[in-house]
Amino acid sequence: MSTKPLKILGIAAVLLAIAAANMVFVVDETQTALVVQLGKPVGGPRGPGLHFKIPLAQSVITYDSRYLEYDAAARELITRDKKNLKVDNYARWRISDPLTFYQTVRDELGAQARLDDIIYSQVREQLGRYDLIDIVATSRRDIMADVTRRTGISALQFGIEVVDVRIKRADLPEANERAVYARMKAERTRQAHLYRSEGEEIARQVRSQADKEVAIVLAEAYREAQGTRGEGDAAATRIYAQAFNRDREFYAFTRSLDVYSTAFKDKDVLVLTPEGELFQYLKAAGVAR
């Protein structure tokens, strides 16, 4: 048998194998595919599995069917109260309609550019309706929920589903930041002075009340002391009077002894005449002459 037919058969087999390989393509479970012929999609999107196409005439474009991330560059915008705010936001999205996606934005780079326009427009518009304090402290969740909803509606025409839009970081420009910090410091200083003034006023009231109560207690104590002292003096006078009435001589004697113990205990010098009544008991005892 001639070798020429064998060579022809071999070449034909190789060409058939190449053609068969170009006819078959496999779509991964994380992807969605489109078959394109002369730049136009043929049929609908292909899901995961084995598929066929016309060799050479048709090509396959695959898209990631998972959730993707869009991370925007930080940009400045103006709030309702005319404050400049530098916002850095991101979004999570996926290709919901590969055919529309291909016809409008072609690929992920085109989708990122379109999302950049849509999301920035919505973020700027919605944040511009609120004051700075609302954006930073109180209303951010509601604002971003509204931005996500509006962005999702606008992105559907490109075959894109926007799942979430969030502010990753919101900062003041450097010049505004210094001014805001200065105002915050001044406000805190004013508040601190107010608290100190209120505290001093309360302290003065407490001290005044305490001084008043102390004066009342001291006056009451002095009154009671004087009353007790008066009662004691009255009792002493009464006792002395009773003692004097009982034995005047003995009373005079004891009172003289009291005078002796009081007058002579500090070794003072007294100039008195010996004939005075003070020395009558001393003379009787033979002490004074």
Helix, strand or coil, per DSSP, at residue 138: helix
**Owner of token pair 């190789």:** 14
List, for residues 180-232, the tens digit of each pLDDT value.
678 888 888 899 999 999 999 999 999 999 998 999 999 899 888 988 988 88
Contact 77, 103 (CB under 8 A): no
Residues paired with 91 in a beta bridge: 70, 165
List, for residues 20-59, the tens digit of each pLDDT value.
667 889 999 999 999 999 889 998 899 999 998 888 788 9
Residue 267 pLDDT exceeds 80: no
Mean pLDDT (whole number) for 83-98: 92
The residues, ordered by sequence, that sit 6+ positions from 46 with a Cβ below 8 Å of its Cβ are: 27, 32, 33, 34, 35
The residues, ordered by sequence, that sit 6+ positions from 130 with a Cβ below 8 Å of its Cβ are: 79, 80, 139, 143
Rounded to two decimals, what is the model's pTM?
A: 0.58
Residues paired with 69 in a beta bridge: 92
Which H or E run includes 235? helix 174-246
